Amino acid sequence: MELGVTQRGLLGGYVGHFESLMGDKRTVKTFTEIVTGIISAGSLVCQRIANHSVILSAAVDGGQRVIRFARGESTRRSQVDVEHVTAELRRYGVAQLAAADEDELWLIVDGSDLRKPYAHEMPALMRVRGLDGKLVAGYRTLNVLGLTPRRRGILYHRLFSSQEEDFVGESAEVQRALQTVSEALHGLKERMSVTWIMDSGLDDVAVWRTIWEQQEHVLCRIYHTERLVEYQDGAGQWVAGDIERARQRLGLLAMAQTELVVRRGHQKKAKRQRVPAEIRACPIRLTYATNVRREGDGKTAQKLLWLVEVRLPGTHLDPWLLITDWPVVEAEDALRIFRMYRQRWAVEDSFKFIKDTLGWEEVQLLDLDGIRTLLALGWVAAGFLYDLGVTLEWEEVQFLARLGGWVARKDRKPGKAILTYGLRRLIDMLTTQSFLQRYITDHGSLPPRIAALLQSPGDL
């Protein structure tokens, strides 16, 4: 996706937020050119990044310059390492979210695997789940995206491996993410409620405990249905049991419609289609130890929660079994929880789109810190694309595909080239709108012939 002159200007303004990390103008220029190359090449392969940069492609060793930059060999007077880059990306994301006039913030946790099935010499490779379900070489990443109806911000990114010498454990990585993001949002929490929306991989009392200590909310998909809780029997008395038994007390609260890729009835293949959803809920009580997975003495605490089940009748999908500390008493409450978790699915689609567009699994370096830094630069590029209007709704991604020339047909999905071309056309449109609006601000109106061609410049 080649960037035009105006788009490069917008990118320059965006990259300006990271200049405080850089000790000289050469580093600023190289940083900008690498981010430009990542977007233009749709790849994290260093030579491809260099080939899609005007300056780096003119150098004899353009690809090596990218490698030296990622490894920190050419940035000793700067702070362009993974910790500082992601911290600045987080500050920028918080600023974006703070500009939203909203009273609610959702935090979507994405625990993606970075798969390198054919790699042998890359450092600290661990075993991760491949697309076919088999174990392959790779790394794990943990990412957090903040979301309001009109704003989003990348708040956390970290790549880790169980094969690192100083690796403590995945639970410690999760705790680090929870605490880092919460500290960054300290000022926003004075006016916004914060809800962590998580998949079943974080069905963990230690995770929930930390979130509650931070005065934040939980919405998590359940994996451990054997977890012991209390629920109300037919007489309204609290009785002990597990989550599986508590499901018997679920009551229907609301009906909804949603669009998912599913297989219904006798359909041979899954396809995107509208399906009904039935939302049931009941209160439960969870008793837990506050020192779970911590040293030292703790205490026993009890939390009133709601068990929510979303059934998709007529499909081959299992029900969504969710747990939340938000009260789910009326139909409106149930629909809100449904929309919140449904948004998580849309965000996962958006994450996948961005990762595919930037070719993040193509990263190739023989230095773990270099891999981390280059991947962090990929997220800087993703932040720029988000700023330019790449939405988090899958329907919008489908729109980008059509904008790129894709025609919806049975069993034909849009590919990376189509999505990238659609994104380029969208960026061109946004860039044009920005230029026209700036021209009107500076000169009062557009040139007469241009105004006549556009017919309604006042709508810009």
Per residue in 223-270, pLDDT tens? 999 999 999 998 999 999 999 999 999 999 999 988 777 888 888 887
Q: Which of 133, 144, 126, 52 is nearest to 89 (CA)?
A: 144
Provide the pLDDT for residue 460. Answer: 43
Average pLDDT over residues 164-187: 94
Q: Over 80: is that where the pLDDT of 444 sits?
A: yes
- Token couple for 237: 């008395």
Does residue 84 contact residue 35 with C-beta atoms inside 8 Å?
Answer: no
Give me the residue label for tokens 């789910």.
Answer: 328
Q: How many residues does the chain have?
A: 460
| C-alpha–C-alpha distance, residues 366 and 169, integer Å | 23
82-354 has which fold?
Answer: Transposase Inhibitor Protein From Tn5; Chain A, domain 1 (3.90.350)
- HEC profile of 242-278: EHHHHHHHCEEEEEEEEEEEECECCCCCCEEEEEEEE
Q: Over the stretch 338-367, which tens digit does the pLDDT of each residue have?
A: 999 988 876 776 667 667 777 778 887 768
- Over the chain, what is the mean pLDDT? 85
Q: Give residue 270's pLDDT.
A: 79
Residue 394: is its pLDDT beyond 50? no
Half-sphere exposure of 13 (CA within 13 A, CB side): 7
Residue 48 token pair: 């491809």
Q: Which residue has the higher pLDDT, 414 or 270?
A: 270
Residue 328 CA to residue 310 CA, distance in Å, equals 13
Tokens coding 71 = 């490894």
pLDDT band at residue 8 using 50, 70 and 90 as cut-offs: low
Residue 420 has pLDDT above 70, yes or no: no
- pLDDT of 2 higher than 60: no
392 pLDDT more than 50: no
Of residues 187 and 152, which shows the higher confidence score? 187
Comma-separated ranges of CATH 3.90.350.10 domains in the chain: 82-354
Tokens 């405990």 appear where? 209
Cα Dmax for the chain:
80
